[in-house]
Structure 1
Amino acid sequence: MHFPVHKKIRIGFFIAFTVIIAASIFSYLVAKNLLENAGRLNHAIEVSKRLEVITRQLKEAEAAIRGYNLTKDSSFLDPSMKERSKRIEREYLLLRQITAESPQQQRHLDTLRDLLAIKYRQLMSGSHAVTVARQESSVKEGEKSMDKLDRKVQDMIRIEESQVHEKARLFHFFSVLWVPVIFISSIVAILIGIYSYVTLTREFRLQLHIESKMKSYQRDLQQNISLLNKTNQELEQFAYVASHDLQEPLRKISTFSDRLQMKYKDQLPPDATQLIDRMVSAVSRMRVLINDLLVFSRAGRITPESITTIDMNVLLQEVLADLEVTLEEKNVTVTTETLPVIEGSATSFHQLFQNILANAIKFASPNRPLEIHIRQQVLSGRELGFVKENRWDTPFCRISIEDNGIGFDPAFAERIFLIFQRLHGISEYSGTGIGLAICKKIVDSHNGFIFAEGMPNKGATFIIVLPLAQTNKNEN
C-alpha cells in the first residue's frame, strides 16, 4: 500500500510529537518525585533537628539539676527550670506544626507531651531535693523518664527515615528508567527528524524538477499555441481565398449555362436541356456549400471587443422577424419564455438561434402543424451537474428549443453536430450538413454546452447552456 509523502511526514511528526510528550510527562514525574524526595528529606532533617533540640535541652536541664544538687551552686539553675520549660515548649509546638500532616507523628507527639510533663515535674522536684536518698531517687526516675523520651524520639526519627527511604526507592526507580527513556525518545525524534529532512529534501528536488519540466512544457506549449494561431490564420486566409477563387469559375459556369439556354434553347434536344438543368443545380449546391464553409470558418471567432450585454428577448424577436415569411408559410407556432440578459457576441447568437429554428422548420412533420417551444432556466454550475468544480458557482442559462417535428434516433445525438454529417439524403432534405456544426462552434467559443435529444416521429429538443457572464479564457 502506497502512502503519499505528506501523509508519511504527518505520521512521522505525530509519532515524534507523541514521543516528546511522553518523555516530557516522564521527566515531569521524575522531577516531581525528586522535589518530593528533597522535601521529605528536609522535613525529616527538620523533625530530627527539633527532636534533638528538645532532647539536648532536657539533658542540659537534668545536668544543671545534678550540678546544683552536688555543689549547691545556684548558677546551675540559671536559666531557671521554668525558662527551660518554655524553650522546650516552643520547640514542641514547632515540631507539632511541622508534623501536622502526619497523624502517626501527631500521636507520638501526644505521648511525647505526656513524657515531657512527667519530666518537667521530675526536674522541678529534683531542684528542691534536700536529702541524698531523695536525690538518688530523683536521678533514677530521671534516667527512666529520659530513656522513655529517647525511645519515643527514636520512634519518631525512624518514621521520618522510613518515609525518606520509601521516597528514595521510588526516586531510584524513576531515575533508573529516566535515562533510557530520554535516550530512546531522543533517538526516535532524531531518526524521525532525519527521515523528514531526507523526505522533504527529496520532495523539494522533485518539485524543482517538476517545475523545470513544467516551464519547459509551458515554453513548448506557448510555441505550439503561437504556431497554431499562425496556422489558423493561414487556414482562414486560405479558406477565404480558395472560396473566393472557387466562386469565380462557378459564376462563369452559371453565366455560360444561362447564355446557352437563352441562345440555343430551341435548338437543344431534350436530353441536353436536362443535363444543363442538372449542371445549374449542381452549381447552386456548390455555391451554397462554399458559402457555408466560409460561415463555418468564421463562426465562433469572438474577441473581447465583440462581447456585449445582450437582451436575448430582443435578439430572439429579430431572429423570428428574419424567419417570418417561412414561419407563416409553414404555419409554425412559436412560444417563448422571458429570456435573461447574457454576455456574448450578438452576431454569433443571432446565427445560433437562426440555424436551430431553421433546422426545426426544415424537419417539420408533414402530419401535424409545427410547434416550437423555447424555455429557459437559470442554474448554477453545481446544479447543472456536468461542469468542472471550478465553475460550480458560475450562473448559467439553460435554454431548450423543443419542436414536434420528425425527430431523430437518439443514437445520432452527438453525430448531428459534426461537420458534413447528414441523417437524411440530399433528395429528401436540402442542406450541406454544416449548420449544426456552426451552432456547436459558436456555443463552444462562448464557454457553453449544447446537446440534442430526439425521438423519431415525435420531435427534437436542442439544449443550449450558456454562462451569463463571459471570462477571458475558455473554461470548458
Structure 2
Amino acid sequence: MHFPVYKKIRIGFFIAFTVIIAASIFSYLVAKNLLDNAGRLNHAIEVSKRLEVITRQLKEAEAAIRGYNLTKDSSFLNPTMQERSTRIEKEYLLLRKITAENPRQQRHLDTLRQLLTIKYEQLMSGSQRVTVARQETSVKEGEKAADRLDRKVQDMIRIEESQVHEKSKLFHFFSVLWVPVIFISSIVAILIGIYSYVTLTREFRLQLHIESKMKSYQRDLQQNISLLNKTNQELEQFAYVASHDLQEPLRKISTFSDRLQMKYQEHLPPDAIQLIDRMVSAVARMRVLINDLLVFSRAGRITPESITRVDMNVLLQEVLTDLEVTLEEKKVTVTYDSLPEIEGSDTSFHQLFQNILANAIKFASPDRPLVITIRQEVLTGRELGLVKENRWDTLFCRISIADNGIGFDPAFAERIFLIFQRLHGISEYTGTGIGLAICKKIVDSHNGFIFAEGEPGQGATFIVVLPLTQNNKNED
C-alpha cells in the first residue's frame, strides 16, 4: 500500500510528538519522585534532629542533677529544670507539628508525652535536696525512663528511615529507567526528524521540478494556443474565401445550364435534358452545402461583447415567426413553457432553436400531425449531475424539445451530432447533415450540454442544458 508523502510526515510527527509527550511525562514523574524523596529525606532529618535535641537536653538535665547531687553546687542547676523542661516542651510541640500528617508518629508522640511528663517529675524532684537512698532510687527510675524514651525515639526514627527507604527504592526504579527512556525517545525523535527533513527536502525538490515543468508546459501551451488561434483565423479566412470562390463557378454552371435549357431545349434529346436537370439539382445541393459549411465554421464563436441576457421567450417567438409558413403548411402544433433569461449570444441561440425545430419538422411522421412540446426546468449543478464539484452551485436551465415524428434508433443518439452524419438517404430527406453539428458547437461554446433521445416511430427529444450565466467558464 502506497501512502502519500503528507500522510507519512503526519504519522511521523504524530509518533515523535507522542514519544516526546511520553518522555516528558516520565521525566515529570522522575522529577516529582526526586522532589518527594528529597522532601521525605528532609522531613526525616528534621524529625531526627528534633528527637536528638529532646534526647540531648534530657541527658544534659540528668547530668546537671547528678552533678548537683554529688557536689551540691547550685551552678549545675543553671538553667533551672523548669527552663530546661520549657525548651524540651517547645521542641516536642514543633515535632508534633512536623509529623501532623503521620498518624503513626502522632501515636508515638502521645506515648512520648507521657514519658516526658514522668521525666519532668523526676527532674523536678531530683533538683531538690534528698537523702542518699532517695538519690539512688531516683537514679534507677531515671535510667528506666531514659531507656523507655530512647526506645520510643528509636521507633520514631525507624519509621522515618523506612519511609525514606521506600521513597529511595521508588526513585531508584525511576532513575534506572529514566536514562534509557530519554535516550531512546531522543533517538526516535531525531530519526523521525531526519526522515521528515529528507522527505520534505525531496518533496520540495520534486515540487520545484514540477513547477519548472509546469512553466515550460505553460509556455508551450501558450505558444500552441497562439498558433491555434492563428490557424483558426487562417481557416476562417480560407473557409470564407473558399466558399466565395466556389460560389462563382456554381453560379456560372447554373447560368450556363439555364441558357442551355432555354436556347436548345427543343433540340436536345430527353436524355440530355435529364442530365441537365440532374446537374442543376447537384449545383443546388452544392450551394446549400457550401453555405452550411460557412455557417458551421462561424457557429459557436462568441466573444465577451456578444454575451447578453437573452429573453428566451422573445427569441422563441422570433424563431416560430421565421418558421411560420412551414409550420402552417405542415399543420404543426407547438406548445412551450415560459422560458427564463439566459446569458449568451442572441444570434447563436436563434440558430440553435431554429435548427432543432426545423429538424423536427423535416422528420415529421406522415401518419399523424406533428406536435412539438418544449418544457424547461431550472436546476443546480448538483441536481443536474453532469458537472464537476466546482459548478455544483451554478444554475442551469434544462430545455427539452420533444416531437412525435419518425424518431430514431437510440444507438445513434451520439452519432447524429457529428458533422455530415445522416441516418437517412438524401433521396428520402434533404439536408447536408450539418444542422445538428452546428447545434452542438453552439451549446459547447456556451459551456452547456446537448443530448438526444428517440424511439423509432415514436418521436425524438432533444435536451439542451445551458447555464443561466456565463461567469463560470470551466469546461466539463
Does 1:136 find its partner at 2:148?
Answer: no
Identify the residue that residue 252 of structure 2 maps to in structure 1.
252
Identify the residue that residue 425 of structure 1 maps to in structure 2.
425
SS at match of 2:460: strand
Between the aligned partners of 1:51 and 1:355, the Cα distance in structure 2 is 115
Between the aligned partners of 1:440 and 1:187, the Cα distance in structure 2 is 65
What are the superposed Cα offsets for residues 262-301 of structure 1, whole Å, 9 maximum, x if unpaired? 1122222222211111111111000000000000000001
Q: Pick which of 116-125 and 421-430 moved more.
A: 116-125
Does 1:116 find its partner at 2:144?
Answer: no
Between the aligned partners of 1:100 and 1:359, the Cα distance in structure 2 is 106
SS at match of 1:369: coil
Between the aligned partners of 1:83 and 1:325, the Cα distance in structure 2 is 138
1:304–1:472 Cα contact (<8 Å) kept: no
Identify the residue that residue 475 of structure 1 maps to in structure 2.
475
Does 1:202 find its partner at 2:223?
Answer: no
The letter of the residue matching 2:85 is: S
Between the aligned partners of 1:365 and 1:79, the Cα distance in structure 2 is 140
SS at match of 1:56: helix
1:405–1:457 Cα contact (<8 Å) kept: yes
Between the aligned partners of 1:38 and 1:299, the Cα distance in structure 2 is 92
Between the aligned partners of 2:435 and 2:174, the Cα distance in structure 1 is 88
Structure 1 stretches lacking a partner, 5+ long:
none
Q: Pick which of 91-100 and 352-361 moved more.
A: 91-100
1:406–1:457 Cα contact (<8 Å) kept: yes
1:129–1:135 Cα contact (<8 Å) kept: no
Alignment RMSD (CA, Å): 1.0
The letter of the residue matching 2:119 is: K
Identify the residue that residue 288 of structure 2 maps to in structure 1.
288
The letter of the residue matching 2:229 is: N
Q: May I ask how many residue pairs the two structures share in their alignment?
A: 476
Deviation, 1:110, is: 1.0
Deviation, 1:75, is: 2.8
Between the aligned partners of 2:234 and 2:388, the Cα distance in structure 1 is 33
Between the aligned partners of 2:304 and 2:249, the Cα distance in structure 1 is 38
Between the aligned partners of 2:7 and 2:474, the Cα distance in structure 1 is 35
Identify the residue that residue 35 of structure 1 maps to in structure 2.
35
2:308–2:344 Cα contact (<8 Å) kept: yes
What are the superposed Cα offsets for residues 360-385 of structure 1, whole Å, 9 maximum, x if unpaired? 00001111111111111111111111
1:372–1:403 Cα contact (<8 Å) kept: yes
Does 1:2 find its partner at 2:2?
Answer: yes
2:391–2:472 Cα contact (<8 Å) kept: no
Q: Give TM-score scaled by structure 1 length.
A: 0.98
Deviation, 1:474, is: 4.6
Identify the residue that residue 308 of structure 1 maps to in structure 2.
308
SS at match of 2:420: coil
SS at match of 2:320: helix
Between the aligned partners of 1:472 and 1:181, the Cα distance in structure 2 is 59
Q: Pick which of 462-471 and 77-86 moved more.
A: 77-86
Between the aligned partners of 2:94 and 2:405, the Cα distance in structure 1 is 113
Structure 2 stretches lacking a partner, 5+ long:
none
Identify the residue that residue 54 of structure 1 maps to in structure 2.
54
Identify the residue that residue 459 of structure 1 maps to in structure 2.
459
Residue correspondence of structure 1 range 304-453 to structure 2 within 5 A: 304-453=304-453
Residue correspondence of structure 1 range 256-267 to structure 2 within 5 A: 256-267=256-267
Q: Give TM-score scaled by structure 2 length.
A: 0.98
Between the aligned partners of 1:313 and 1:33, the Cα distance in structure 2 is 86
Deviation, 1:417, is: 0.1
Does 1:24 find its partner at 2:17?
Answer: no
SS at match of 1:188: helix
Deviation, 1:392, is: 1.1
